[in-house]
Structure formats: structure tokens, C-alpha cells
Amino acid sequence: MTYSYNFEVREQTLLTPQWVANQKSFLDWDTQPASFKHYPHFCYRVRLSDHPSLQWLLHTRFINDERVVAHKPYRRLNVPSAGNLHPIEIYVQLRNIPGILSGIYHVDVLSMELVMIAEIAGEGLEPYLGMETRFSGAIVMLSLVPFRSSWKYGLRSWRYLYLDLGHQIAALSTSVRHFGLELTKMSPKEDLNRFMGMGEEEFIAAVYGIGESTARPVKPLHKPMMRVQPTDYSESLPLLISTLQTIPPYISLPTTHGYEKYESFNLSRRSAREFDPNQMSDDTIMELMCLNIPDSLEIIPVVLQAHTMQCGVYLNGKCAVNGNFISEILHLLLEQRFIAGANMVVLIYAENFCASSHIEAGIYAQELYMACEYHEVGCSGIGAFYDEEASLWSDNALLYAVAIGGKV
Ligand SMILES: Cc1cc2nc3c(=O)[nH]c(=O)nc-3n(C[C@H](O)[C@H](O)[C@H](O)COP(=O)(O)O)c2cc1C
């Protein structure tokens, strides 16, 4: 039964005081697995910036900040990620794109190159997506690399993998629409992973098309593609791996907003590490509360500090329970001190505790990140919370929270 299965995952990934105590013990960053997959040097490569028709891809996932921390490169991307661990890779099948050999490519985010893994002509990935004819354009595949996240978060990473995936799906959708194109949802079949050369270290979790089906028939690939490990080493958590083997039945297409300044938002976006509550207007609080909410989610904004509007729990844009809830919210969110300066915390609940609702929550949070850029306020996704305490605010399951406040 789906519900009890998801119930088991929830129980196994609960955040408890003991878990938090273990996390505070020493984490050796020298043992962090590689954050970027690298195909061998002999693979044919194409610079993404040389192809203006692929600008949407260039702006979907890229490094927008690089520095050295503890003698190691510390890279941050246009999309946020729990712990900055980035357990996602992107692949594209490109067919009939002018100036590019039709093939299946890995998007190498470190070098911003497309790395060809297989050339295609009469063959392709279409049969593994339920299509009998060639798809002209791009097929984008997003994969999850669980060990990058489970290395730090153990089983709790199940949640962060899907939240991170939601952020990346929303970024893809916004980017594609910004460049005047449309996404189509595709449904991967079981064999796709194997033919992409993936074992138990990486799983295709979402596939989208940008283009159209043609009348020309297509054959399946005659053999799986080369296998390259996505991390330099890995350790397996059997429960995590078994739950990732099924592709989440995430069927709705994200309806992300467009912003004229999307490209500069994407370049400068950062998660807030501190807030100045005086720098956020009440109008902005109200506008962010009224963002389109997907049916699968229950959104509970809690206003912590404002100029003239009432503080408290809001429902449909109106204050339902008036009060100062800073200490309750701080406790719920593991006493992460910087949240005390936030103007509002948006709690994202869902009736169904499943992969799809986590993806939806990630998409919704990415929308909030972009809206905050537009309103010039700061925000941060918060995936660390005491699950049991969250029942104070709703009967549903808390999946994610976003702290929002004035920029310092
Ligand atoms: C799913 C998810 C959970 C997160 N949880 C927390 C959190 O509990 N506390 C926090 O301070 N930041 C949290 N963050 C923000 C990340 O720490 C941040 O995205 C990462 O360090 C990269 O920084 P950047 O967003 O500025 O690129 C979370 C982000 C995501 C996507």
C-alpha cells in the first residue's frame, strides 16, 4: 500500500534530538564524495556558450560562486541544495539541433561543456520513454546521486534529494520559458537507467522534452552506454537505494513564473545567512504569501515580525491566529539562530508524504527564492526541523520550510 510504504520512509527519516546530537559530532569534510561527475577526457566535448540555441540549458544549472574554503574549492550553484551537496546531474539527448552532432550528452557543470556519451541517428532514448518515433529537439534527464547527500544526512537525505530535485525542475522550467520554449513531461520506463549506464549510485528521477515528436521511427540503443561513477567512492544505504529505484509518479508540469531579470537573479541568488527585519515591507510579506499554491501542498505562513501588520499564523492571506511565535518556530527549526531575524517563515505541509509531494515542495520553494530576488529580500530553504513538533501547526506532514526576511 502506497500510504504505509511512505509512512515507513517518513518514520525512518524523522529528525530527533539524538539524530541532531550525532550530526554535531565531527564530520570530516575531507571524506566528502565528489560533487561533479566527470566523463573520460577522450569523450567529444562542446562548449555550451558556443551554442546560443542552448542558452536555456546554460542557465538551468551552473556555478555562480566559487571560492576556497579550508584549502578546497567551495562552489555554489544557481540552485540551492541542502548542505550545498548538489546530488543532481543533468543529461540531454539532442536531435536536429543546428551545429550540434545528434547524441546523448552529459552536462559537465564544472567546465560548462556538453560531453558526448553516445552518438545517435536511427537509435535513441525515445523507446525508453514510451515513444516509437524520433523526438526532434532536447530530452532533458535529471538524475539523483544519493551518496552525495547521504554521506552527510544518512536516510534523512531521501527528503533532501527530492526537495533539491524540485528546486532543479523549477529552475529548468523557468529557464526554458524565459527563452521562449515549452517543456513536455516524459515518462521513463524501467530500462532507462540501465541504458544510461547507471548502477546503484545514480538514478534518473525526472525527464522532460523540449521539441516535438516526428513521424520517423526510432530504434532502441543496441547497448547500454559507458558506466562512469558519479562520485569518487560511495557507500550504499539499502533502504535509500531501494526507494530511489522507482521513478516518482510526478505528473504535473511546473507552472513557474517568468521574470524579465531572470538571468541576473539566477547569477546572484544566494540563501540568506542573516536577516534585517526592518528591510522587508508588509506589502512584500503579503505578496509572497499569495504566490500560487499547488493543490498537493498546504502552505502555512507564520509572520514573525512586521511593520504594522499582525504577527501570527496566516490562512488565505488573513491572520488566523494572532501572536508572537518566534520561539516556537525557532525550536521547530532546530534553533537555527539566524531565523530569529526573519520576517516570516513559510511552512510547507502535504497530506501525502511521498516523493512527488517533496518535489512539489522544492518547486514551490524555488518559486519563493525567485520571488524574493524580485522583491530584493533574502530567503533560505530549511530542511532541518523536528517532525513531531510540526504537528502543532497542521495535521499534515511538514516537508520543508522557507525563512524569508529583509536583506542585511
Ligand atoms: C532542501 C534544502 C534544505 C536546506 N536546509 C537548510 C537548513 O536547514 N538550514 C540552513 O541554514 N540552510 C538550509 N538550506 C540552504 C543551503 O544550506 C544552501 O542552499 C547551500 O548552502 C548553498 O548555498 P546557496 O543556496 O547560497 O547557493 C537548505 C537548502 C535546501 C535546498
| Pocket of ligand 1 contains residue 275 by CB under 6 Å | no
Query: Maximum CA pair distance of the chain?
Result: 66
For residue 400, how far is its CA from the centre of ligand 1 (angstroms)?
A: 11
- Cβ(207)–Cβ(188) under 8 Å? yes
Please give the single-letter amino acid code of residue 321: V
Q: State the pLDDT at residue 239.
A: 87
Q: State the pLDDT at residue 25.
A: 61
Please report how many Cα atoms fall inside a 13 Å half-sphere around the Cα of residue 87, on the Cβ side: 30
For residue 272, how far is its CA from the centre of ligand 1 (angstroms)?
A: 9
> In this structure, is the dihedral angle defined by the CA atoms of residues 391, 345, 354 and 158, taken in order, positive or negative?
negative
Q: Beta strands of 167-252 (E only): which ranges?
A: 184-186, 203-217
Q: Which residues contact 29 (CB under 8 A, 6 or more apart)?
A: 70, 72
Query: Which of 20, 271, 274, 336 should be mutated for ligand 1, with most atoms under 8 A from CB?
Result: 271
User: Which residue stretches of the chain have pLDDT < 70?
Assistant: 1-5, 23-26, 250-251
Which residue's entry shows cell 538571468? Answer: 263
> Which residue's alpha carbon is nearest to atom 7 within ligand 1?
382
Domains and CATH numbers, the chain: 32-244 (3.40.109.10), 271-405 (3.40.109.10)
CA angle 143, 165, 114 (to 5 degrees): 45
**Rounded Cα distance, 284 and 309, in Å:** 11
For residue 85, how far is its CA from the centre of ligand 1 (angstroms)?
A: 9
Q: State the pLDDT at residue 245.
A: 83
Which residue's entry shows cell 533560505? Answer: 380
Q: How many C-beta atoms lie closer than 10 Å to residue 322's C-beta? A: 11
Q: State the pLDDT at residue 1.
A: 34
| Pocket of ligand 1 contains residue 266 by CB under 6 Å | no
- For the CA of 273, the closest atom of ligand 1 is 11
| Pocket of ligand 1 contains residue 332 by CB under 6 Å | no
* Interhelix angle 157-178/146-153, nearest 10 degrees: 140
Query: Which of 380, 399, 404 should be mutated for ligand 1, with most atoms under 8 A from CB?
Result: 380
Query: Which of 163, 382, 386 should be mutated for ligand 1, with most atoms under 8 A from CB?
Result: 382
* 3-state secondary structure string across 117-169: EEECCCECCHHHHCCCEEEEEEEEEEEECHHHHHHHHHHHHHHHHHHHHHHHH
Q: State the pLDDT at residue 254.
A: 83
Q: State the pLDDT at residue 2.
A: 40
| Pocket of ligand 1 contains residue 361 by CB under 6 Å | no
**Rounded Cα distance, 381 and 359, in Å:** 14
Q: State the pLDDT at residue 171.
A: 97
The CA dihedral of 46, 51, 53, 57, to the nearest 10 degrees, is 50
